[in-house]
Amino acid sequence: MRTPPRRTRAGAYALAATLLLGLAGAPGADAATDRRHRATTLDDLAQKSGRYFGSAVDNPELADTPYADLLGTEFGSTTPGNTMKWEATEPQRGVFNYAGGDEIVNYAQSKGLSVRGHTLLWHNQLPGWLTSGTWTADELRSILKNHITNVVTHYKGKVFAWDVANEIMNEDGTYRDSIFYKTLGPGYVADALRWARAADPKVKLYLNDYNVEATGAKSDAYYTLIKRLKADGVPIDGFGMQAHLALQYGFPNQMQQNIQRFADLGLDVALTELDIRMILPTDPAKLAQQADMYGRVTDACLAVRRCVGITVWGYSDRHSWIPPVFPGEGAALPWDENLQHKPAYDTIAASLAAAARKKKG
């Protein structure tokens, strides 16, 4: 697909401002009658083009009232950062604990947000009883089936999508040598998808990973896998590109074309964990580069009809995972630590506003 010419960012800001003012004055846009959205929210604009705009959240952040209030008004969906993962949901074999995940689901329901489930199957954050055990293939298959069935059944009707299998590939396109792959072989992915579908026939089922935004060995491996799964009749509805990006590595080449080729397999595509970090300290040039990249990511999604939504991995630098994991890096999100917009917010809004105007026209 030919990439359309990119707008200048100055023109895009003006376009966004014009459309936002128009939306604010539109019939039925009275804030008193709109429980969640003002016309200026990112999700409101995303919905105008048939998409959602969401943010992840972790349970301790709900106690930060200003942060939680903004999450509940600016966004249309949320993803629990940690409390639907295996170590949280099944800390002892056969003993399930949904308190953390339920807290986020209840918060989301109170704010009118939808929820992406994350994640049923991952090589990290597994409970000690699972990783320290010596399991036969039959035993581990039974454990995995029981876990997926219980978790998906518990959240049936409460989440609209599940990251069923997360980060199953290495950078070179080989399977990650996880406990599941070592014991069960590659067929565990198809089994996980089938079990999830059996537990909730209506939920969207995704594979999800990082460093798959560009074309290359890792995204090629997912493309080949998903094509084979679909040929074998295995239920899969979507592919999640996490989009943990960094200024020093530049924009991922052919992102729009890569999204398009997965969509052409009959999949929904979602950008599931977007952030764009930089080497600290910040300066105007870095913030401008970050803003441009956020705009380009948003444009890439908006250019593909089946790119259904964007989720930032936390929306503010106040609660970002980046500094502890990448020392000396941070400032990765569209809001700063004081919950104020950064230039990145404006480029996202501009892209969404332009798409909304185009659809309306």
pLDDT in tens, the chain (361 residues): 322 223 334 344 433 443 443 333 333 333 333 434 455 899 999 999 999 999 999 999 999 999 999 999 999 999 999 999 999 999 999 999 999 999 999 999 999 999 999 999 999 999 999 999 999 999 999 999 999 999 999 999 999 999 999 999 999 999 999 999 999 999 999 999 999 999 999 999 999 999 999 999 999 999 999 999 999 999 999 999 999 999 999 999 899 999 999 999 999 999 999 999 999 999 999 999 999 999 999 999 999 999 999 999 999 999 999 999 999 999 999 999 999 999 999 999 999 999 988 887 6
Q: Which two tokens stand for residue 262?
A: 């997965």
Q: Which helix (H) or strand (E) holds 274?
A: strand 268-279
- Spatial separation of the C-alpha atoms in residues 174 and 241, rounded to whole Å: 18
pTM: 0.90
Name the catalytic one among 61, 74, 167, 213: 167
Whether a cis peptide bond, with omega within 30° of 0, leads into 119 is yes
The answer to whether 32 and 344 are in contact (CB under 8 A) is no
Return the half-sphere exposure (C-beta side, CA atoms, 13 A cut-off) of residue 69: 4
- Spatial separation of the C-alpha atoms in residues 227 and 214, rounded to whole Å: 18
Q: What pLDDT is stored for residue 319 in this prediction?
A: 98
Domains of the chain: 41-360 (3.20.20.80)
Q: Is 103 a catalytic residue?
A: no
Q: Which two tokens stand for residue 54?
A: 């969401």
Q: Is 87 a catalytic residue?
A: no
Q: What pLDDT is stored for residue 258 in this prediction?
A: 98
> Is the four-CA dihedral 320, 322, 323, 324 of positive or negative sign?
positive
Residue 76's nearest CA partner among 110, 47, 100 is 47
Residue 251's nearest CA partner among 313, 209, 293, 300 is 293
